[in-house]
Structure 1
Amino acid sequence: MTGPLSSLKILDFSTLLPGPFASLLLADLGAEVLRVEAPDRPDLVRLLPPHADGVSASHAYLNRNKRSLALDLKRPEAREVVTRLLQTHDILLEQFRPGVMARLGLDYDTLKALNPRLIYVSISGYGQTGPYRQRAGHDINYLALAGLASYTGRAADGPLPLGMQVADLAGGSLHGVIGLLAAVIQRQHTGEGQQVDVSMTDCAVSLHAMAGAGYLAAGVEPQPEGLALNGGSFYDYYRTRDGRWFAVGSLEPPFMRALCQVLDLPGLERQGLVADPAVQQDLKRQLAERFEREDFDHWCRRFAEADACVEPVLTLAEALQHPQLQARGVVTDVPWETGGVQRQLACPLRFSTGLPAPRHPGATLGAHTEAVLQECGYGEAEIAALRDAGAIR
């Protein structure tokens, strides 16, 4: 079994999270991904705790199914290696600030002259153009500048630091994969590659979706707890007597009736459709009082058979043990090359023809350097010369 993307061969120059998560998805779908890593500046994710089997668990997951080539791009001999690789790898993924690849002689205009079919995906915080293109940033900064943080959180307490990297993953990673695959499809028709410019901030702006549409078309500025889906209505989280939480999303009348039936609050279902903020706050108060009368387990039993769009807020450990997620196979065993397995999150996509089984966790730095060079036609003497020159490790 090869996977739907088995025809793609990708050079991955990215580090940390956005690029590696994008290439993880591609590798899980069968693409051949070769990480090009600096020998003297390892990806910081390699050092990120916690460690399992002596390896960063995050690195082992994010770099599953990929090979590693340790190459010092500051050396002219290393750039010659990239030139040879471009004869067989016609997709490149990079995540440097704009201008870095140009200083290395590996910018899109230079490389497309060597391979006009090259698809060159650049993921960065603010994109390849604009006054912020050279500015440093992290996920929290992109969400702030994109305006998303302004109405995420409680009115009294301000924005919340989210536990997941929304701009990195939904912005950089997923949009990067979409752009890459769109360019592949266009190349099938035109025979030509192109550069795909992915700004994590731009992509975060697109996540405003309905709130953004409301502002642009009607001038309605979203506020914390001012929308139906950000705490401005009963669509919210409710604490139980023992300090756990439930998520209530019973927006439609049938679900609202089921909610009120389980909570024994007859007559309240009509309030769910009333847009008046005062009515919504009164409804939230009554729901909160009822949830706090019983423990988490009690409400789990009561809502287990109720079709009410109400679910318990689970810990990660509880979520991975949930019957629905277990039935979907969201966890997989990835074999170590030396024996044994590591449990990891599985590829979330399902294909009727199946996907190839995971081959190995993230490789050690430069684990495949010699094999890759041999595949490019380098002989033993040439490889030794590259090593002596400090171009490889």
Structure 2
Amino acid sequence: MNGKGPFHGIRVIELASALAAPGASAILADQGADVIKIEPPGMGDILRYMGASRHGVSNLFQHYNRGKRSLALNLKHPDGLAIVRRLAAGADVLLHNFRPGVAERLGVDYAALRAVQPKLIYVTVTGFGHEGPYAQKPAWDNVVQAFAGVAHSQADTGTGEPTQYYQIFADKLTALTAAQAIGAALFARERSGGGQEIRLAMIDAVAAFLWPDTCGSAAFLEPDGILDGQSLAKGNRLLRFRDGWAQVAPTDDASFLATCRILGEDVAGDPRFATIRARNENAQEVRTLFGRLYARAREMAVDETLAQLEAADVPCAKALRVDELPTHPQFQANGLFSVTDHPRAGPIRGPRTPARFGATPDVVGLKAPELGEHSEQILAELGWETPAAVLREQGVIA
């Protein structure tokens, strides 16, 4: 174990705000990359002012910007553009979430920066894509969720009313997709020696993620011989017990029959439920059966019933609140959560990057930067000729 993350030695320039693109570079920072976050002087990243906060420190901003360095820089000033280009010359990755055309107007497009760094991995995250009728539409997480199919895929099974996730689902999924793509491009560069441009639309990330198990028969272009079958997820309701909530996933034959028996419906010997293939062919009967199981669960104690299900090796778990996760013995055994001591907000608890590397562990316990905290440090590393005080007076940095 060398004590350095897998991306140690990789420099990332982030020209982004909010969550989708900064979330990607946050993963790289957790895994050892040197991420320089370029923010506009004055306000900085909008995420600094959103979500729960303490003493002016947003938990959202802390989580998605921990371990980064902040350079408050005016990109519209000629010196600001020159600084970005010099940074890019020594960088491995640059990512932004400007709308199509903005990077070109600013002079930080791929063609301009490839000229100073041919090995650059250049990543553009957009809401709807670079071309097409919606390319210039502004995008926010809930808008992307609605357009890319999330709301209808979450429709209430009784009323049919579309609903959305009560979380920034599209942003977080796009961040994960972008981080994976960057890792793949860096690996390809090791083989070829060249950089490349990556374009990622949020609607594409979400639609591709949803499609396999939510598209149903839409995957088949010929109409004959289609069997809708059982959905792996849709309609899977929580079991409501008299003193709590839980979930079960009895997919294989043994666990399915055990779940029915424990919840008071012994269906052993019924050919409609005997095998996974039979249950897929009798999906409506399975739904009816589970309706009765849900009703029976209301009369049972959750812990006692879960103990019986676990003894029968049925996949199951009690439904926990998010605030219960850090103190649960299983998450403590996994070591997922750590505490960062922030000088203004005090101790802040949050999860590390979930993947655990045996030889190149991720970096934990780092705080997010104050706006422009590292401006002078970064300029000094660049060997910038104009003194920082002069640049500050000219409105180039803050």
- Does TM-score exceed 0.5, indicating one fold? yes
Task: Give the match's secondary structure for 2:144.
Answer: helix
Task: Measure, in 2, the Cα distance between the counterparts of 1:294 and 1:382.
Answer: 72
- CA positional deviation for 1:103: 1.3
Residues 1:55 and 2:57 are matched in the alignment: yes
1:178-197 alignment runs, 5 A limit: 178-197=180-199
- CA positional deviation for 1:33: 0.5
1:343-358 alignment runs, 5 A limit: 343-358=349-364
- CA positional deviation for 1:356: 4.4
Residue by residue over 1:28-83, the C-alpha shift from the partner in whole angstroms, topping out at 9 and shown as x without a partner, is: 11111010000133222111231135411111111111110000111111011112
Task: Measure, in 1, the Cα distance between the counterparts of 2:345 and 2:248.
Answer: 45
For 1:50, the aligned partner's letter is: A
- CA positional deviation for 1:261: 3.7
For 1:247, the aligned partner's letter is: Q
Residues 1:114 and 2:116 are matched in the alignment: yes
Q: Paired residue for 1:93?
A: 95
Residue by residue over 1:178-215, the C-alpha shift from the partner in whole angstroms, topping out at 9 and shown as x without a partner, is: 22122212222222211100011111121112444842
Residue by residue over 1:329-356, the C-alpha shift from the partner in whole angstroms, topping out at 9 and shown as x without a partner, is: 1101224368964221111111111414
- CA positional deviation for 1:300: 4.2
CA contact (8 A) 1:126 1:132 kept: yes
Q: Paired residue for 1:331?
A: 337
Residues 1:228 and 2:228 are matched in the alignment: no
- Count residues with an aligned counterpart: 384
Task: Give the match's secondary structure for 2:71.
Answer: strand
Select the residue among 164, 168, 171 that pairs with 1:165: 168
Task: Give the match's secondary structure for 2:12.
Answer: strand
- CA positional deviation for 1:96: 1.3
Task: Measure, in 1, the Cα distance between the counterparts of 2:308 and 2:133.
Answer: 55
Task: Give the match's secondary structure for 1:196.
Answer: strand
When structure 1 is superposed on structure 2, of 2-11 and 262-271 the one drifting more is 262-271
Q: Paired residue for 1:209?
A: 212
CA contact (8 A) 2:54 2:345 kept: no
Q: Paired residue for 1:392?
A: 397
Q: Paired residue for 1:247?
A: 247
Q: Paired residue for 2:324?
A: 318
Residue 188 to residue 323, structure 1, CA distance change in 2 (3 Å): same
For 2:397, the aligned partner's letter is: I
CA contact (8 A) 1:335 1:358 kept: no
Q: Paired residue for 2:265?
A: 265
Task: Measure, in 1, the Cα distance between the counterparts of 2:363 and 2:139.
Answer: 36
Q: Paired residue for 1:308?
A: 314
Give ranges in structure 2 of 5+ residues lacking alignment. Answer: none
Q: Paired residue for 2:291?
A: 285
Residue 268 to residue 158, structure 1, CA distance change in 2 (3 Å): farther
What is the TM-score when the length of structure 2 is the normalising length? 0.89
CA contact (8 A) 2:55 2:344 kept: no
Residue by residue over 1:6-33, the C-alpha shift from the partner in whole angstroms, topping out at 9 and shown as x without a partner, is: 1210001111111121111101111110
- CA positional deviation for 1:268: 5.9
What is the TM-score when the length of structure 1 is the normalising length? 0.90
Task: Measure, in 2, the Cα distance between the counterparts of 1:281 and 1:338.
Answer: 53
- CA positional deviation for 1:148: 3.6
When structure 1 is superposed on structure 2, of 185-194 and 104-113 the one drifting more is 185-194
CA contact (8 A) 1:20 1:63 kept: yes
Residue 321 to residue 219, structure 1, CA distance change in 2 (3 Å): farther
Task: Measure, in 2, the Cα distance between the counterparts of 1:219 and 1:364.
Answer: 57
When structure 1 is superposed on structure 2, of 153-162 and 92-101 the one drifting more is 153-162
Residues 1:374 and 2:376 are matched in the alignment: no
Identical-residue share of aligned pairs (%): 31
CA contact (8 A) 1:262 1:302 kept: yes
For 1:84, the aligned partner's letter is: R
Task: Give the match's secondary structure for 1:3.
Answer: coil
Residue 137 to residue 382, structure 1, CA distance change in 2 (3 Å): same
CA contact (8 A) 1:268 1:283 kept: no
Q: Paired residue for 1:131?
A: 133
RMSD: 2.4
Give ranges in structure 1 of 5+ residues lacking alignment. Answer: none
CA contact (8 A) 2:98 2:126 kept: yes
Task: Measure, in 2, the Cα distance between the counterparts of 1:391 and 1:164.
Answer: 36
- CA positional deviation for 1:157: 4.0
Task: Measure, in 2, the Cα distance between the counterparts of 1:227 and 1:136.
Answer: 37
For 1:202, the aligned partner's letter is: D
CA contact (8 A) 2:338 2:365 kept: no
Task: Measure, in 2, the Cα distance between the counterparts of 1:299 and 1:115.
Answer: 61
Task: Measure, in 2, the Cα distance between the counterparts of 1:321 and 1:283.
Answer: 36
Residue 269 to residue 69, structure 1, CA distance change in 2 (3 Å): farther
CA contact (8 A) 2:152 2:163 kept: no
CA contact (8 A) 2:213 2:231 kept: no
Task: Give the match's secondary structure for 1:120.
Answer: strand
CA contact (8 A) 2:36 2:68 kept: yes
CA contact (8 A) 2:75 2:106 kept: yes
Task: Give the match's secondary structure for 2:38.
Answer: strand
Residue 269 to residue 36, structure 1, CA distance change in 2 (3 Å): farther
Residue by residue over 1:192-243, the C-alpha shift from the partner in whole angstroms, topping out at 9 and shown as x without a partner, is: 21110001111112111244484233568xxxx98522435xx43222224x
Task: Measure, in 2, the Cα distance between the counterparts of 1:5 and 1:347.
Answer: 13
Task: Measure, in 2, the Cα distance between the counterparts of 1:338 and 1:50.
Answer: 14
Task: Measure, in 2, the Cα distance between the counterparts of 1:269 and 1:198.
Answer: 51
Task: Measure, in 1, the Cα distance between the counterparts of 2:310 and 2:57.
Answer: 39
